[in-house]
Structure 1
Amino acid sequence: MRFLVVGAGALGGYFGGRLLQAGHDVTFLLRPARAAQLAASGLVIHSPAGDLHLASPPTVLAHQLQPHYDVVIVGCKAYDLDETIASFAAAVGPETVVLPLLNGLRHLDTLTARFSYRRVLGGLGLISATLDETGAVLHLSQDHTLAFGELDGERTPRVEAIAAAFAQAAFVGRLSDSILQEMWEKWVHIATIASITTLMRASIGDIVGAGADGLALDLLDECSRIAAHNGFAPRPEAIARTRATVTAPDSRLTASLLKDIERGAPTEGEHILGDFLRRGRWSTADTILLPVAYAQVKSYERQRAGRAALLHA
């Protein structure tokens, strides 16, 4: 089975590196700067599950792609999806499946429109990881799960084959019969955390310490109602996990959305919050905080665009 991993950032670098470590046929599709970095230092992973140094991981640039791969694993930022699709489209053949690990669900609409419903799987990564200043992957927790499955929940030979390959790698590869349910539950979790930490400009622990964790629970309720409206009401264990996360008194957790705002970067606000709102029949009577969080992110994006226009004037 031939895997094309699009990018070698924290997500693609970790899961692709573990597959390569297990002896699988893996190629990383990279931009020139990252390709040069890996050529010089290799792919390095620091992890509680064991460190890894792959001196010469196979890499390819977009213009060098040859068809066809069995699985294309995509873990880019949502705002880079169109450019990313253009970079790997040549690798998608008649039997290729695309396994995206993006947050939310809007990317599924984009990918199925481009490649057809039959060629796209559902997927999510449960891992806390980042790149350090040298380009090494830092795995920051015990979790390293890649869940995936057919969008209709069917157990097909192709997902069984992928599951068998993942089972040989040093991460948890889990074939799901209800991947859309799991993706909605993760979306509720992320949208709740992104909204409350962005609104408060603070970590979960500071929000709890200020006595504002009730607002986080109100956001969880708003997000859960929208998911239920779409037929994917979060299960009790998912609700309990998010409640525990947003009420943890000593947590330093902030959403990546807030981190992006703090460093003046583009955000996934449209993908995580805007699309969530559009999928709900919401009114100010029952959905109050989520529209405010979305408006704040949109205001930031407008300010950022204005500053960029001034710089280039």
Structure 2
Amino acid sequence: MKICILGAGALGCSIGGVLAMGGSDVILIDRNQPHVDAINGAGLKMRIGDEEKTVKVKAYTSPAGLEPVDLVVILVKSFATRAAIESARNLVGPDTLVMSIQNGLGHEEILAEVVGREHVLAGKTYVGGVFLEPGRIISGYKGKHTYIGELDGRLTPRLQAVVGEFNKADLLTTASTNIMGTMWDKLMVNVAAGALCGITRLPYGWLYKIPEIEEAGVAAVAEAIAVAKANHIRLTSEEPKYYWDLAAEGLPADFKTSMLQSLEKGQMTEIDFINGAVVRWGERSGIPTPVNRTLVACIKGIENWIVSFGNQ
């Protein structure tokens, strides 16, 4: 199967590199020129546990001029989703599938608007990746699960083919008939602590020591659960504390959410696709979401400060 990873940062390289090792024909697309040059020059260096492997894979800074592929995996920052897929229309042939495995909600709607709903799969992954330097990453894929599904919940041959391709590479992948439930389960984890970590600047070891922060995180999840129930989403649990605890499970005290990591780099966050998604779905469903709305406002305030004053 010919697969393009659109957004080959740490996670994109982690998944793309493992797929390439499993025999898939993988293309990596990333705007980071030194990163692309390093991959093309010496291969993608992947630290997997105590080993470091070198994977030969082609990398480009743009999809322009490339031929259609079987599967496009979207792993750009959420706010760049529309621009990324619009720039990659040439990769989408009559039978090409396009799949987001980004954090948050709302990507599938964007992809469907650009390439057509009939091309879109949905996915969620717990695979991790850490960027070390251009052309070199840590891949945290062992024991981490990925879920892929059709938007209508059917188990189709094309879905099974993609799942089979991932499993061939030892990516633990399941075809889901409840992909929306899976996506909301992952959303709950991000809603629980992502924004609070970004606002307070506290890594988990300190974040989880403060009762008032736990109260706010649990309240944000409770709102999200109410919204999910109103939309007939099947969740693993309807207990807010379950997701607050799950968010920190197995993570070290110095762990920082991607939202905090983005702010520390002076970058915009994915708040609109996480807590912001809860607010939007709540508005459509008539469910009030004051806690999530406040968290969105705080993060947007920090982002605005970075843009306005961060370089002073």
User: Is this a same-fold pair by TM over 0.5?
Assistant: yes
SS of equivalent residue, structure 2 residue 259: helix
Q: Which residue of 2 aligns with 1:205?
A: 205
Give the one of 261, 264, 271 matched to 2:263: 261
Q: Which residue of 2 aligns with 1:45?
A: 46
Q: Which residue of 2 aligns with 1:163?
A: 163
Q: Which residue of 1 aligns with 2:276?
A: 274
CA distance in 2, matches of 1:246, 1:154: 29
Deviates more, 1:75-84 or 1:206-215: 206-215
**1:132-211 maps to which residues of 2 (within 5 A)?**
132-140=132-140, 142-211=142-211
4+ aligned runs moved over 4 Å, structure 1: 140-143, 237-241, 246-250
The answer to whether the 8 Å contact 2:259/2:269 transfers is yes
Q: RMSD of the TM alignment (CA)?
A: 2.8
When residues 280 and 68 of structure 1 are mapped into structure 2, their CA distance, relative to the original with a 3 A threshold, is: same
**1:195-234 maps to which residues of 2 (within 5 A)?**
195-212=195-212, 213-234=214-235
Q: Which runs of 5+ in 1 are unaligned?
A: none
**1:28-39 maps to which residues of 2 (within 5 A)?**
28-31=28-31, 32-39=33-40
| Residue 286 (structure 1) shift | 5.9
Q: Which residue of 2 aligns with 1:109?
A: 109
Cα distance per residue 1:250-307 (max 9 Å; x no partner): 7433321122122321111122222221110499x96442222111011122223324
SS of equivalent residue, structure 2 residue 144: strand
The answer to whether the 8 Å contact 1:132/1:138 transfers is yes
When residues 93 and 282 of structure 1 are mapped into structure 2, their CA distance, relative to the original with a 3 A threshold, is: closer
Q: Which residue of 2 aligns with 1:10?
A: 10
CA distance in 2, matches of 1:281, 1:53: 48
When residues 124 and 293 of structure 1 are mapped into structure 2, their CA distance, relative to the original with a 3 A threshold, is: same
CA distance in 1, matches of 2:121, 2:141: 26
When residues 84 and 261 of structure 1 are mapped into structure 2, their CA distance, relative to the original with a 3 A threshold, is: same
| Residue 15 (structure 1) shift | 1.2
Q: Structure 1: which amino acid aligns with 2:218? A: L
Q: Percent identity?
A: 24
SS of equivalent residue, structure 2 residue 139: strand
| Residue 194 (structure 1) shift | 1.1
Q: Structure 1: which amino acid aligns with 2:276? A: G
| Residue 143 (structure 1) shift | 4.2
Q: Which runs of 5+ in 2 are unaligned?
A: none
The answer to whether the 8 Å contact 1:198/1:293 transfers is no
When residues 281 and 59 of structure 1 are mapped into structure 2, their CA distance, relative to the original with a 3 A threshold, is: closer
CA distance in 2, matches of 1:263, 1:7: 18
Count of aligned residue pairs for this structure pair: 308
Deviates more, 1:149-158 or 1:62-71: 62-71
| Residue 216 (structure 1) shift | 2.2
CA distance in 2, matches of 1:272, 1:80: 15
SS of equivalent residue, structure 1 residue 4: strand
Cα distance per residue 1:231-258 (max 9 Å; x no partner): 2152228867523235779743332112
SS of equivalent residue, structure 1 residue 302: helix
| Residue 83 (structure 1) shift | 2.6
CA distance in 1, matches of 2:172, 2:216: 34
SS of equivalent residue, structure 2 residue 208: helix
Cα distance per residue 1:61-84 (max 9 Å; x no partner): 536533321111111111221231
The answer to whether the 8 Å contact 2:193/2:247 transfers is yes
TM norm structure 2: 0.88
